[in-house]
Structure 1
Amino acid sequence: MRKKSASIDLSVMQASAEKASALLKVLANPDRLLLMCQLSQGELCVSDLEEQLGIRQPTLSQQLGVLRDNALVETRREGKSIFYSIASKEAIAVMNVLYEQFCAK
């Protein structure tokens, strides 16, 4: 726990709680969490994500759409391929904590 310091304005705290809650809701889906874990290693195209994670294309497209709609990932087109990368510094920070708690040896 943090030391008690100058009190934070309640409206600021509520707005921050809403933003944090929205991020956690998006990450609460196992397929989206897998996608974010994989993308935390670097940019990947859709076919690579499908192959590496074993998520079928319809589900993959749906979950990538949710991540894109919530500004957690961004896209880049190269020819016919679409590449995804993480766009949210807050999401990367949460992914780092999750990695330390659940994946690090």
Structure 2
Amino acid sequence: MGHALPVLRDDLTEQELDEIVDKATTASAFLKAISHEGRLMILCHLVTGEKSVTELEELLSARQAAVSQQLSRLRLEGLVIPRRDGKAIYYRLADHRPRKVLECVYNLFCRDDDEEQA
């Protein structure tokens, strides 16, 4: 079971409110990072495992420069980790956060109504 959402009450201490604001700032940066269609698709492909930049270019039917730009942003946000093998660069998910969000996005936008009611 997940954690309860914070309740913004009048009696919160300044420290408690600061912690909530810090977490909201982190969450906002994360959501901005995945809000681009290309970055979201890259994360979807990486859920199945590590992929090279060339593999991602082919899967996305995108130019190397575009894929590299989106990977750079995902790397900057700490969502993917690169690994060099000779001239090839491979990427994998940095942790569980993208997978959890992608599952949520799938449930919100990709499931059929019939599946939801089952």
Which of 17, 31, 38 is 2:24 aligned to? 17
Deviation sequence 1:44-93 (CA, Å, 0-9, x none)? 00111001111211111111111111111001111221110010322222
Unmatched tracts of structure 2, length 5 or more:
113-118
Unmatched tracts of structure 1, length 5 or more:
none
Give the TM-score taking structure 1 as reference length: 0.86
Deviation sequence 1:5-63 (CA, Å, 0-9, x none)? 8x772111111100100000011111111111111111100111001111211111111
Q: Distance in 1 between matches of 2:110 and 2:28?
A: 23
Kindly tell me: are residues 3 and 56 of structure 1, through their superposed partners in 2, closer, same or farther at Cα, counting changes over 3 Å?
A: closer
Kindly tell me: are residues 79 and 22 of structure 1, through their superposed partners in 2, closer, same or farther at Cα, counting changes over 3 Å?
A: same
1:96 equivalent in alignment to 2:103: yes
Give the TM-score taking structure 2 as reference length: 0.77
Identity, % of aligned pairs? 38
Give structure 1 regions of 4+ aligned residues with deviation exceeding 3 angstroms.
2-5
Figure out how many residues of one structure are paired with residues of the other and give that number: 103
Q: Distance in 2 between matches of 1:87 and 1:100?
A: 22
Higher Cα radius of gyration: 2
1:77 equivalent in alignment to 2:84: yes
Q: Distance in 2 between matches of 1:3 and 1:69?
A: 28
Report the RMSD for the aligned CA atoms in angstroms.
2.0
Bigger RCO (CA 8 Å, 6+ sep): 1
